[in-house]
């Protein structure tokens, strides 16, 4: 039986895969993927046309509070198993001798490894020699890997803008070790604007485009230079250092002015502390790259997320941002980004 | 260097006489006097002494040419006659006689800076009482010094840049490729590097115009026909020598890559590279580089090439050394890393996560292993050697091998622990370990029949189907300390989907959270685990690792984290196992 690639990824196929993710059942997902390959569906289509979109829906379900984080995690695990099975089934693909070696890594603290894993396989299927270093790669480990194995390129995945300062550390250190960097992932902003700010040598949206770009520009060269100013290097570390104080300050303020909080269960309280910590991390990242869109982008995703959890989001965030203005008189950029955030929230009322 | 107003240069006035300069007089005026305000006696401007003899003009080092308003030369001194031999008083300024001076006068310009009759001449015009006076000096020497300075500066910049590029990577091949790239186009149009023979082959790398790059190997016998290249490669002769034509021909595999012209005219220089005495390679520079075209450049800049060779050779040798060391470490490392989990064991689902504390080896004192058990199911253990670093890592390797051998001959887990204890005591091992070992067999009524024994390790946790989490209390004494230890065993039945979690103290003792110093703790682990109902073992292990890492936040991982989950396969998974897919290529283990 042979099916045309364009018609093989039917709605029925997608439903089967989605169901396997929902039930956290690896075997049917793997069986489905192997059957598609047996039927002649190109492996790249299975990766980018089936597994990647299903994973996106998983993220949406979590964001809409339909799935718990544990469910999302289990679903991701199944997707990873499906990718691993595909990799094993296509391991006979020979590397193209005109191309070289790409090492794929996720930013330190980044747990969304699946897109990077998919990129690894797409590049391998296109003839690159690849190595996937897994999620959450500390910059030091990566540098040690670069010196030991000498790949031609680091492909760095960053899914969340909050990790941009860590991404910079990785880019900078990889380049110092003489290896150019390809940046990818929504964390680098619209059209990869912050990939350029951080001095990445190349940028691509999506695995297929990354493969096209690299094939056209092989071997990659060191060309990027970071565009970070004094405020980035002064204000960012101060914000990181003061994070616990700022968190305590905001919590005290919210206790006083945000009455809903007094009725919180310990779990709700913990979740709030976590959310506030994240807000501070996004503010710090925003200050680091010097672009308030990092911060307003966070607000844009936080409002529906908090609303889905029954939190009066706009009011709570407005109080939080106002509360942060007071302890930050020496941080002109943080203040500018806070007022940009307040303006953004004001437009929602 | 072009200003001509030496006489009028404002002089900084010193402190008034009798008052020493210093901090005791902070208000001392530090103003600059306007030009000519207090001319020194006898140097009144525009008023030469009345008794100045006409010949005094000739004492002036600069050329002085005086013209009347119609442009006719009315007088000039000796220096002017040297610079402009054909200049005559009473004649109009002309191109052939006064060159750039005539041109500047013609165009009404104030100054000129141009070559004339083998000199670099710089002239300025002033008007004194209606007559034009040109002062012209010979700037040739200054200009030469400037050119030399600029050339040296560009050499230094090149060497600094090259050093950064070649020394950036400690990977030998990358360093070699960076080296040839760095030499082009400054030192040569094309650069080829031969590395010391590796077995029967001589690796080479080449960089040419337009970012062209090639790499390859030639048989070591080729060196028999290229004595000069062989000598450069042996490190016996540190001199830079021209590479003879027939040797270039013998290396046609490499030189065949050259653009037409390079190396054909014999313009090839052989540069031996050495790092602290040992041969690091031989660099061939083919075709003149940019430095040869610089002012004063004659052929290949040999001095620059040898300076480049000295620093690049050191970097290359360091990379070679590092790469050899790394190969040794990796070979040793490979035996210490956790082994991949067995795949597709009927009735059993497995998951593991391992995150070593940051260290040179990327491995630590935690270890785990799962092996297929003859007769079905698996045997497993997870433990923690006291201490950190390389010594602890080496002991984990020994404990793992001993455990594996013991479990092959002894099935009773308590007995296995006793034997391990004896082995460690007899070896005089100063360190001890804690561990949990056991086996899981498919039960005839479904689920898994698990037996575990403990040697002073944290009690394993069981996740029941309803979300309850129960510790399996096994206790036991540390392994490798007492001659007569006490170990206990427990039996646990896991229904389909239920799971046994083994973990190291890196999980519960992780310090972080909101305050930065709070422990992750068993209570939090139990609570999080109870939310993992229905998740496959692999996802549970990864989730525990994720939660701990999030708890640690930006803080360095100070202790190893090891997690092992053994799960009774749920009924649906059983049915699918008939087609035993090798799905176990686990992401976590790659690259570690």
pLDDT over threshold 90, residue B255: no
Tokens, residue B226: 């290229």
Q: Do A237 and A166 contact (CB within 8 A), yes or no?
A: no
Sequence-separated (6 or more) residues with CB below 8 Å from residue A303: A313, A314, A317, A348
In B, minimum Cα distance to A91 occurs at B585
Domain count, chain A: 3
- φ/ψ of A328, rounded to 5, equals -120, 45
Name which of A70-79, A334-343, B552-561 the model is least confident about. Answer: B552-561
The answer to whether residue B147 scores a pLDDT higher than 50 is yes
User: What is the arithmetic mean of pLDDT over B356-380?
Assistant: 82
Cβ-based contacts of B178 with chain A (< 8 Å): 178
pLDDT at position B244 is 85
- The Cβ-side half-sphere exposure at A220, using a 13 Å CA radius, reads 30
* A222/A105 same-domain check: yes
Residues of A in contact with B587 (CB under 8 A): 80, 84, 113, 117, 132, 134-135
pLDDT at position B12 over 50: no
Q: Is the pLDDT of residue A31 over 90?
A: yes
**H helix and E strand count, chain B:** 16, 23
Question: Residue B510 — very low, low, confident or very high, per pLDDT cuts 50/70/90?
Answer: confident
A232-248 tens-digit pLDDT: 888 999 999 898 899 99
Q: Which residue has better confidence, B134 or B28?
A: B134
Residues A199 and A226 in one domain: yes
Q: Which residue has the higher pLDDT, B30 or A114?
A: A114
In this predicted model, what pLDDT tens digit does every residue of B429-462 receive, in sequence order? 888 999 999 999 999 888 999 999 999 999 999 9
Residue B585 scores a pLDDT above 50 = no
Q: Which CATH number fits domain B56-138: 3.90.1150.10, 3.40.50.300, 3.30.450.20, 2.60.120.620?
A: 3.30.450.20
Say what the pLDDT of residue B557 is.
66
pTM score > 0.90 for this model?
Answer: no
- Is residue A103 located within the same domain as residue A225? yes
Are residue A114 and residue A85 in the same domain, yes or no?
A: no
Distance CA B172, CA B164 (A): 15
DSSP letter for each residue of B374-401: TTSSEEEEEEEESS-HHHHHHHHHHHHH
**Residue given tokens 């230079």 in the structure block:** A225
Q: Exposed, middle or buried, A171 (CB in 10 Å: 0-12/13-18/19+)?
A: buried
B-contacting residues of A 23-52, CB under 8 Å? 23-28, 30-31, 34
Would you place residue B327 in the very low, low, confident or very high pLDDT band (cuts 50, 70, 90)?
confident
* pLDDT interval class at B250 (50, 70, 90): confident
pLDDT in the model for residue A5? 43
Q: Are residues A323 and A273 in the same domain?
A: yes
- String of DSSP letters for B520-560: -HHHHHHHHHHTTTT--HHHHHHHHHHHHHHHHTTS---S-
Give the pLDDT mean for B324-328: 87
User: Are A225 and A243 in a shared domain?
Assistant: no
Is the pLDDT score of B262 beyond 60? no
Q: What is the pLDDT of residue B219?
A: 93
B170: which chain A residues are within 8 Å (Cβ-Cβ)?
147, 177
Using a CB-CB cut-off of 8 Å, the residues of chain A touching B586 are 84
In this structure, are A340 and A295 located in the same domain? yes
Encode pLDDT of A184-195 as tens digits.
Answer: 999 999 999 999
Q: Are residues A58 and A21 in the same domain?
A: yes
What is the Cβ-side half-sphere exposure of residue A332, based on CA atoms within 13 angstroms?
Answer: 4
Domain pair B56-138 / B155-328, same fold: yes
Asked if B583 lies within 8 A of A81 by C-beta distance, the reply is yes
In which residue are the tokens 């939080």 written? A320
Task: Give the Å distances, CA to CA, from B544 to B474, B531, B589.
Answer: 22, 11, 16
Confidence of residue B47 (pLDDT cuts 50, 70, 90): low
Task: From residue B58, give the alpha-carbon distance in Å to each of A31, A119, A207, B78, B271.
Answer: 103, 82, 81, 5, 54
User: What is the reported pLDDT for A257?
Assistant: 85
Question: B394 or A296: which carries more pLDDT confidence?
Answer: A296
Cβ B498 vs Cβ B568: under 8 Å = yes
Q: Tens of pLDDT along B194-230? A: 999 989 999 999 998 888 888 999 999 999 999 999 9
| Lowest-confidence pick of A175-179, B52-56, B182-186, B507-511 | B52-56
Residue of B43 and B561 predicted with greater confidence: B561
In angstroms, rounded to a whole number, what is the distance separating the alpha carbons of residues B519 and B522?
9
DSSP lists the bridge partners of residue A105 as: A156
Chain centroid to CA B13: how far? 53
Q: What is the pLDDT, as a whole number, of residue A156?
A: 96
Tokens encoding B438: 């056991």
Record: contact A178-B539, CB cut-off 8 A: no
* DSSP 8-state secondary structure symbol assigned to residue B515: T
Beta bridge partners of B127: B132
Burial of B443 (0-12, 13-18, 19+ CB in 10 A): middle
Residues in chain B: 592
Q: What pLDDT score was predicted for residue B583?
A: 35
Task: Please report, for residues A125, A240, A323, A339, the alpha-carbon distance to residue A252 in angstroms, rounded to integers and kept in the order given.
Answer: 54, 19, 10, 21
pLDDT of the residue at B294: 54
> End of a domain among A92, A119, A141?
A92
What is the C-alpha end-to-end distance of chain A, expressed in Å? Answer: 58
* Of the partner residues B173, B514, B531, the one whose CB lies closest to the CB of residue A150: B173
pLDDT at B26 over 50: no
The whole-angstrom separation of Cα A284 and Cα A333 is: 10
Provide the pLDDT confidence category of residue B29 given band limits of 50, 70 and 90. Answer: very low
**List of residues 6+ apart from B361 with CB closer than 8 A:** B329, B333, B336, B389, B390, B393
pLDDT digits (tens, 9 = 90+) for B73-101: 988 999 999 999 998 888 988 888 889 99
Put simply, the answer to whether B514 touches A73 (Cβ < 8 Å) is: no
Nearest CB to B588; choose among A27, A134, A146: A134
Specify whether A254 is located in the same domain as A177. no
pLDDT score recorded for residue B28: 42
CB contact under 8 A, A177 and B169: yes
Q: What pLDDT was estimated at residue B363?
A: 67
CB nearest B576 (choices: A27, A132, A141): A27
Does B39 have pLDDT greater than 80?
no
Query: A151-155, B55-59, B381-385, B529-533: which has the minimum mean pLDDT?
Result: B55-59
What is the mean pLDDT of the segment spanning A327-345? 94
Does the pLDDT value for residue A128 go beyond 90? yes
Q: Taking CA atoms, what residue in A is nearest to B585?
A: A84
Lowest mean pLDDT among A39-43, A281-285, B84-88, B236-240: B236-240
Please tell me the least confidently modeled range out of B103-107, B370-374, B519-523, B578-582: B578-582
At A261, which CATH number? 1.10.490.20
Q: Measured between beta carbons, which residues in chain A are less than 8 angstroms from residue B591? A: 131-134, 145
**A20 and A40 share a domain?**
yes
* Residue A113 belongs to domain with CATH number: 3.40.50.280
Rounded CA gap, B426 and B251, in Å? 61
Segments forming the whole domain that contains residue A1: 1-92
Give residue B572's pLDDT band: very low, low, confident or very high (50, 70, 90): low
Label residue B202 exposed, middle or buried (CB < 10 Å: 0-12, 13-18, 19+): buried
Residues in contact with B554: Cβ distance below 8 Å, sequence separation at least 6, in sequence order:
A109, A240
A169: closest CA among B319, B546, B554? B554
Residue A277: partners with Cβ closer than 8 Å, 6 or more residues away: A243, A247, B514
* In chain B, where the domains are located: 56-138, 155-328, 338-573+580-587
DSSP assignment string, B235-275 = TS--S-EEPPHHHHHHTHHHHTTSPTTTTTTS-EEEEEEEE
pLDDT at B25 over 50: no
Question: Which CATH number goes with the domain that contains A24?
Answer: 1.10.1240.10
Closest chain B residue to the Cα of A76, Cα to Cα: B539
Digit-coded pLDDT (tens) for B273-317: 987 778 899 999 988 887 765 554 455 688 899 899 999 999 999
Question: How many other C-beta atoms lie within 10 A of the C-beta of residue B527?
Answer: 12
CA dihedral (B450, B451, B457, B461) in degrees, to 10, reads 30
A221 and chain B in contact, CB less than 8 A? yes
Three-state SS for B404-468 is HHHHHHCCCHHHHHHHHHHHHHHCCCCCCEEEEEEEEEECCCCCEEEEEEEECCCCCEEECCCCC
Q: Which of A31, A84, A144 sits opposite B576 (nearest CB)?
A: A31
Closest CA to B169 of A226, A225, A104, A154: A154
* pLDDT for B121: 92
Q: Count the neighbouring beta carbons within 10 Å of the beta carbon of residue B167.
A: 19
| pLDDT of amino acid A211 | 96
Mean local confidence (pLDDT), B148-165: 90
Residue B176 — very low, low, confident or very high, per pLDDT cuts 50/70/90?
Answer: very high
pLDDT of residue B556: 65
Mean pLDDT of B469-482: 93
Q: Residue B470 and residue B460: Cα distance in Å, rounded?
A: 9
Other beta carbons within 10 angstroms of residue A327's beta carbon come to: 16
- From chain A, the residues in CB contact with B175 under 8 A are 178
- A246 and A222: one domain? no
Average pLDDT of chain B?
A: 82
Q: Please check whether residues A199 and A261 belong to one and the same domain.
A: no
Phi, psi of B243, rounded to the nearest 5 degrees: -95, 120
Residue B358: its pLDDT value, please?
A: 65
Q: Is the pLDDT of residue A87 over 70?
A: yes
Report the residue from A74, A141, A150 with minimal CB separation from B539. Answer: A74
CB pairs under 8 A between A and B: 126
Model confidence at A45: pLDDT above 70: yes
Query: Which CATH number among 3.40.50.1370, 3.20.20.80, 3.90.1170.50, 3.30.450.40 corresponds to the domain B155-328?
Result: 3.30.450.40
Q: Is B198 helix (H, G, I), strand (E, B) or coil?
A: strand
Query: For residues B311 and B159, what is the distance between their CA atoms, to the nearest angstrom?
Result: 8
Give the pLDDT score at B171. 93
Mean of pLDDT over chain A:
90
Residues of chain A above pLDDT 70, percent = 98
Residue B32: pLDDT band by 50, 70, 90 thresholds? very low
Element (H, E) at B124: strand B119-128
pLDDT at B261 over 80: no
- Strands B448-455, B488-494: parallel, antiparallel or unpaired by DSSP? antiparallel
Q: Is the pLDDT assigned to residue B115 strictly greater than 50? A: yes
Q: Quick one: which of B500, B498, B499, B477 has its CA closest to B488?
A: B477
Question: Are residues A127 and A99 in contact, defined by beta-carbon separation less than 8 angstroms?
Answer: yes
Out of A92, A115, A136, pick the residue that ends a domain. A92
Architecture of domain B338-573+580-587 in CATH?
Answer: 4-Layer Sandwich (3.60)
Q: From A213, A230, A247, give the residue that closes a domain.
A: A230
- Collapsed DSSP state (helix, strand, coil) of residue A298: helix
Task: Mutate one of A32, A81, A247 to test the B interface: name it (highest B CB count within 10 A).
Answer: A81
Mean of the pLDDT values across residues A133-144? Answer: 83
- Which position has the token pair 């064991």? B345
Whole-number pLDDT of residue B46: 54
């Amino acid at each position: 039986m042979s099916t045309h690639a364009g018609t093989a990824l039917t709605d029925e196929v997608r439903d089967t895969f989605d169901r396997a993710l929902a039930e956290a059942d690896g075997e049917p997902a793997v069986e489905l993927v192997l059957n598609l390959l047996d039927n002649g569906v190109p492996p790249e289509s299975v990766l980018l046309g089936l597994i990647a979109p299903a994973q996106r829906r998983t993220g949406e379900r979590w964001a809409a509070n339909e799935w718990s984080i544990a469910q999302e995690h289990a679903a991701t695990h199944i997707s990873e198993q499906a990718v691993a099975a595909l990799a094993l089934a296509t391991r006979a693909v020979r590397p193209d001798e005109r191309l070289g070696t790409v090492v794929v890594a996720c930013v330190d603290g980044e747990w969304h490894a699946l897109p990077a894993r998919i990129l690894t396989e797409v590049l391998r299927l296109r003839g690159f020699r690849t190595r996937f270093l897994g999620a959450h790669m500390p910059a030091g480990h990566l540098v040690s890997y670069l010196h030991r194995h000498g790949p031609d390129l680091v492909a760095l995945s960053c899914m969340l803008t909050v990790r941009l300062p860590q991404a910079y550390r990785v880019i900078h250190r990889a380049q110092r070790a003489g290896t150019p960097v390809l940046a990818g992932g929504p964390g680098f902003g619209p059209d990869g604007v912050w990939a350029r700010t951080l001095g990445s040598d190349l940028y691509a949206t999506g695995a297929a485009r990354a493969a096209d770009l690299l094939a056209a520009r092989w071997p990659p060269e060191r060309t990027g230079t970071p565009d970070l100013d004094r405020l980035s290097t002064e204000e960012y570390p101060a914000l990181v250092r003061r994070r616990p104080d700022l968190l305590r300050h905001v919590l005290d303020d919210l206790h006083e002015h945000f009455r809903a909080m007094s009725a919180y269960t310990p779990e709700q309280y913990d979740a709030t502390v976590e959310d506030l910590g994240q807000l501070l991390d996004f503010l710090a990242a925003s200050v680091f790259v010097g672009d308030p869109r990092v911060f307003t982008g966070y607000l844009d995703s936080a409002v529906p997320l908090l609303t889905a959890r029954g939190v009066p989001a706009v009011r709570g965030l407005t109080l939080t941002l106002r509360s942060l203005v007071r302890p930050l008189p020496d941080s002109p950029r943080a203040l500018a980004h806070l007022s940009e955030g307040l303006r953004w929230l004001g437009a929602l009322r | 260097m072009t200003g001509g107003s030496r006489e009028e240069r404002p002089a900084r006035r010193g402190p008034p006489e009798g008052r020493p300069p210093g901090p005791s007089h902070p208000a001392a005026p530090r103003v600059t006097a306007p030009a000519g305000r207090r001319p020194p006696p006898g140097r009144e401007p525009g008023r030469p002494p009345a008794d100045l003899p006409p010949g005094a003009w000739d004492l002036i080092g600069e050329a002085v040419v005086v013209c009347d308003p119609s442009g006719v030369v009315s007088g000039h001194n000796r220096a002017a006659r040297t610079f402009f031999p054909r200049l005559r008083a009473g004649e109009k300024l002309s191109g052939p006689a006064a060159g750039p001076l005539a041109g500047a006068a013609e165009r009404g310009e104030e100054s000129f800076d141009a070559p004339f009759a083998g000199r670099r001449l710089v002239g300025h015009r002033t008007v004194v009482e209606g007559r034009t006076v040109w002062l012209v000096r010979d700037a040739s020497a200054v200009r030469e010094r400037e050119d030399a300075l600029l050339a040296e500066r560009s050499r230094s910049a090149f060497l600094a840049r090259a050093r950064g590029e070649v020394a950036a990577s400690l990977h030998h091949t990358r360093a070699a490729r960076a080296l040839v790239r760095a030499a082009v186009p400054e030192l040569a149009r094309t650069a080829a590097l031969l590395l010391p023979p590796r077995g029967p082959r001589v690796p080479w790398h080449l960089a040419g115009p337009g970012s062209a790059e090639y790499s390859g190997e030639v048989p070591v016998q080729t060196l028999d026909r290229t004595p000069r290249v062989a000598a450069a490669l042996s490190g016996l002769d540190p001199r830079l020598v021209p590479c003879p034509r027939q040797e270039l021909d013998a290396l046609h595999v490499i030189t065949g890559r050259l653009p037409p012209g390079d190396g054909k005219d014999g313009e090839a220089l052989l540069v031996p590279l050495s790092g602290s005495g040992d041969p690091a390679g031989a660099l061939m520079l083919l075709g003149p580089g940019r430095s040869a075209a610089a002012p004063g450049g004659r052929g290949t800049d040999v001095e620059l090439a040898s300076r480049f060779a000295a620093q690049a050779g050191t970097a290359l040798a360091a990379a070679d050394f590092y790469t050899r060391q790394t190969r040794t470490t990796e070979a040793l490392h490979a035996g210490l890393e956790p082994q991949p989990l067995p795949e597709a064991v009927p009735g059993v689902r497995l998951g593991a996560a391992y995150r070593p504390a940051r260290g040179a080896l990327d491995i630590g004192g935690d270890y785990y292993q799962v092996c297929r058990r003859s007769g079905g199911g698996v045997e497993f253990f997870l433990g923690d050697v006291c201490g950190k670093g390389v010594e602890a890592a080496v002991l984990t390797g020994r404990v793992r091998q001993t455990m594996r051998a013991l479990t092959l001959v002894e099935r009773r887990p308590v007995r296995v622990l006793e034997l391990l204890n004896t082995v460690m005591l007899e070896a005089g091992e100063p360190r001890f370990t804690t561990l949990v070992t056991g086996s899981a067999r498919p039960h005839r009524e479904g689920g898994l029949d698990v037996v575990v024994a403990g040697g002073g390790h944290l009690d394993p946790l069981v996740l029941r189907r309803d979300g309850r989490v129960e510790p399996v209390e096994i206790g036991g004494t540390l392994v490798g300390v007492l001659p007569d230890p006490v170990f206990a065993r427990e039996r646990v039945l896991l229904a389909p989907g239920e799971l046994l979690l083994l973990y190291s103290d890196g999980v519960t003792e992780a310090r972080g959270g909101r305050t930065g110093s709070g422990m992750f703790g068993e209570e939090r682990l139990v609570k999080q685990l109870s939310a993992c109902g229905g998740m496959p073992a692999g996802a549970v292990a990864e989730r525990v690792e994720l939660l701990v890492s999030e708890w640690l936040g930006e803080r360095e991982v100070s202790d190893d984290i090891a997690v092992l989950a053994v799960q009774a396969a749920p009924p649906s998974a059983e049915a699918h196992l008939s087609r035993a897919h090798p799905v176990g290529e686990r992401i976590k283990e790659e690259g570690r």
